[in-house]
Structure 1
Amino acid sequence: MKLNLKKVLLSLLFFVIVLLTMINYRTPFLRQDGGGWSVGYGSSTRFPEKMVIDAKAIYSIANLKAQNDSTVFLADPFFVKEKDTFYLFFEHKKTKTEADISLLTSVDGKSYQYRGTVLTQKFHLSYPQVFKYKNDFYMVPETKQANAVLLYKAHRFPFDWKVCDTLIANVQLVDPSLYLSDTLNIMVATDYAKNMYVYEADSLFGKWKLHREPIALIGTESRAGGRFFADAKGLILPVQDFSNGYGCGLSLYRFSFKNGKYTVKREKKNYLTAQVNLKEFNAGMHQLDIQKLDTNHYYYVYDGNRLNSNSKSINIWGPLKWNYLDLKSWFLIK
């Protein structure tokens, strides 16, 4: 039987149109024009089911430009509370330089003051996860341009940070996120192919090696967006959502470790997303650090991006790539 070439071509065209429509629905081919990042903060008496963004609790790019006129943006906030002071560390991009790590401080968690740059290197720095470990303060920022995951120690907290160890050598990974305890020490970090790897060690200064199940996530949600948070059910990790372009939103994933194995499952989609009525965050959000300070006090910091304009640009390759990686993740990841 001879095939009707016209019908075959029409069927093929219909299939392509449906496929492209589905891809565009998940990851639009038109990309919005995002601009400068700002950070925000807040508190709650319990882990919030839904994050409510307070328009009055933002340290904006305009605030920082007034203190440092070379500022391009501030992003990736992490905090520690020591005695009566909140120390908020962030990625600080300035004109004509690689990004540094800078600091805001507050005594009430509401009014922040700019304290300047606390760490600068010849390579790009971001994602400054700061934590206290055995009475000393450490930082694991993103140091992919150094071709390693580096550990810094504060010799005069919150200043004077120096490299004290190389946790993982000869690798370029973004947004490394640590969880340390007496029974579990893990780190997740993501490569350029959007594979989130899981590492483990017997302590912070132990030998970090890939978990026997090395890849936790692949695709549009595979890059950490904040530190692990422990609760009664296990660990929660904020994970960036790339489905509508870089920095569009954040989901929460549940990691459960037991007997040398782990499971990972998305628990909340769009936990943070664009705040259309708030100019500082109307393009999207991509970072969260939430910690339980005492029995009924949770404190958190986050960041968001503002639209430069209402215009959009065409992005063909991105949606095709992201949907391929998500399909791969669906087949390969437990």
Structure 2
Amino acid sequence: MNVWQRFQQLQQRRKGRKQDKRDEQGMRQQWFLLAGKHNGAAYPQPQQLTPLYPPADCFWADPFLWSKDGRYFIFFEDFPYATWRGIISVIEIDEQGKQISEPRPVLEEAYHLSYPFLFEYDGQLYMMPEKCSQKRVDIYRCDEFPHRWSQVSTLIDNLKIVDSTLFEHDGKWWLFAAAKQGRVRINESLFAFYADSPLSNTWTPHPLNPLVRDLTRGRPAGRIVRHSQGQLLRPAQDCLRRYGYGVHLQEITQLTTTAYQEQTVWSGLAPEINHTWRAMHHLDQHKGMMVMDAQRLLPMAESVV
């Protein structure tokens, strides 16, 4: 992206913020979840998913799926407006995406938590929640599913980093994330690090960091998956109009320790999918199920208990 393109993006974002201030007077943003079967479609179909609405005094966002013994669970950021500090909670859903249990807190710290990325390694389930205020990336081991977790490792320290996402590719483990570094902003960035193990304490930064600096497709938006036809697909946030305005799927066409290329293969902007949605910034797929999130506005009186 050249200087002129970046200037245009920042101008569009400023214009969007002014409009948002007018639209949000007397209103409160509320993120909610969308869940359902993947149905084998090549790309997401958010309008076919079941909305899961939180109580009016909080929002739910950043959902990650996991299945165990034929049951499906969603781990997510549970953000009470009263405390203004996210915790990680879990709910169970059925195969149609309907909620069949009450939310249960599974991880809480004295600081904000979000983006509870889940992965399995050597038969053990781990969680890597975002803790941007602490400037580090920590790993928690699941000691008793789904509600007992203990911290076991720190992957990256002393970096303001969000939406950290792990995946294996060509014999290496990769950590993709957005980060604040110098003049590079979180909502426009994609940084990459690599190691031999997902539990490593030594991660090598990619020499091209940031791999992406673009408000329309930089910041990660969920788990990176390999499509049935072999494509490596990276969900990315579109933060041009506003934070989390939409989700794009980026096909990673080249990834080595010295090179990176990607191309957009699907785009979903929230208001174009549902006129009542003002944002949509996360996507996860697991064992034939899909989960996303979206945002609506509620009158302030309705969101205060």
Q: TM-score, normalised by structure 2?
A: 0.81
Instruction: Compute the displacement of 1:277 (Å).
Output: 4.4
C-alpha contact 2:245 2:281 (8 A) present in aligned 1: yes
Are the counterparts in 2 of residues 26 and 243 from structure 1 also a CA contact under 8 Å? no
- 3-state DSSP of counterpart to 2:88: strand
Structure 2 match to 1:161 = 149
Structure 1 pair 241–108 and aligned structure 2 pair: CA distance change class (3 A): same
Distance 1:45 1:219 in 2: 31
Question: Is 2:136 the counterpart of 1:141?
Answer: no
Matches within 5 A, 1:21-32: 23-24=11-12, 28=16, 29-31=18-20, 32=23
Residue 188 of structure 1: how far off its partner (Å): 0.9
- C-alpha contact (below 8 Å) 2:88/2:113 kept by paired residues: yes
Question: Could you tell me whether the CA contact under 8 Å between 1:235 and 1:254 is conserved in 2?
Answer: yes
Which residues in structure 2 correspond to 1:170-319 (within 5 Å)? 170-180=158-168, 183-192=171-180, 193-194=185-186, 195-206=189-200, 207-220=202-215, 221-231=217-227, 232-257=229-254, 260-268=257-265, 270-274=267-271, 277=274, 279=276, 282-291=277-286, 293=287, 298-308=288-298
**Rounded Cα–Cα distance in structure 1 between residues aligned with 2:79 and 2:222:** 19
Q: Which moved more, 1:118-127 or 1:299-308?
A: 299-308
Closer/same/farther in 2, CA of residues 219 and 20 from structure 1, 3 Å limit: closer
The amino acid that maps onto 1:189 is: A
RMSD: 2.6
Q: CA deviation at 1:278?
A: 5.9
Deviations 1:102-143 (A, max 9, x none): 001134353322241000001100001112221111011111
- Change in Cα spacing, 1:50 to 1:149, as seen in structure 2 (3 Å) is closer
Give the letter aligned to residue 76 of structure 1: D
Question: Given the superposition, is the C-alpha separation of residues 157 and 307 from structure 1 closer, same or farther in structure 2, using an over 3 Å criterion?
Answer: same
- The percentage of counterpart residues that share the same residue type is 24
In the alignment, the residues of structure 1 paired with residue 233 and residue 244 of structure 2 have an alpha-carbon distance, to the nearest angstrom, of 19
Number of aligned positions between the proteins: 276
Displacement of 1:213: 2.5
Change (3 A) 1:209 1:109: farther
What is the CA deviation profile of residues 77-99 of structure 1, one whole-angstrom value per residue up to 9, with x for unaligned ones?
A: 00111221111000000122511
Task: Give the aligned partner of residue 86 of structure 1.
Answer: 72
Instruction: Give me the whole-angstrom Cα distance separating, in 2, the residues matched to 1:151 and 1:228.
Output: 18
Specify the code of the residue in structure 2 equivalent to 1:228.
I
Q: CA distance change for structure 1 residues 257 and 283 in 2, over 3 Å: closer, same or farther? A: same
- SS of the residue aligned with 1:253? strand
Q: Which secondary structure does the structure 2 equivalent of 1:215 belong to? A: coil
Distance 1:165 1:115, change over 3 A: same
Match of 1:118 in 2: 106
Unpaired stretches in structure 1, ≥5 consecutive residues: 1-18, 310-334
**Number of the residue aligned with 1:317:** none
Q: Deviations over 1:143-178 (max 9, x none)?
A: 111221111111111111111000001111011111
Deviation larger for 193-202 or 227-236:
227-236
Amino acid at match of 2:19: L
| CA displacement at 1:275 relative to structure 2 | 5.5
Task: Work out whether residues 190 and 223 of structure 1, in 8 Å CA contact, stay in contact via their aligned partners in 2.
Answer: yes
Q: Are the aligned partners of 1:51 and 1:272 in contact in 2 as well (CA < 8 Å)?
A: no
Question: Is 1:40 aligned to residue 46 of structure 2?
Answer: no
Distance 1:265 1:27, change over 3 A: farther
**2:302 aligns to what?**
none
Residue matched to 2:4? none
Instruction: Name whichever of 216-225 and 205-214 sits farther off.
Output: 205-214
* CA drift at 1:45: 3.4
Structure 2: runs of 5 or more not aligned = 1-6, 300-305
Question: Compared with structure 1, are the counterparts of its residues 305 and 166 closer, same or farther at alpha carbon in structure 2 (3 Å cutoff)?
Answer: same
- SS of 2:48's partner is coil
Local SS of the residue matching 1:30: helix
C-alpha contact 1:86 1:109 (8 A) present in aligned 2? no
Residue 301 to residue 248, structure 1, CA distance change in 2 (3 Å): same
3-state DSSP of counterpart to 1:286: coil
Q: Is the 8 A contact 1:80 1:131 kept in 2?
A: no
State the shift of 1:224 in Å: 0.4
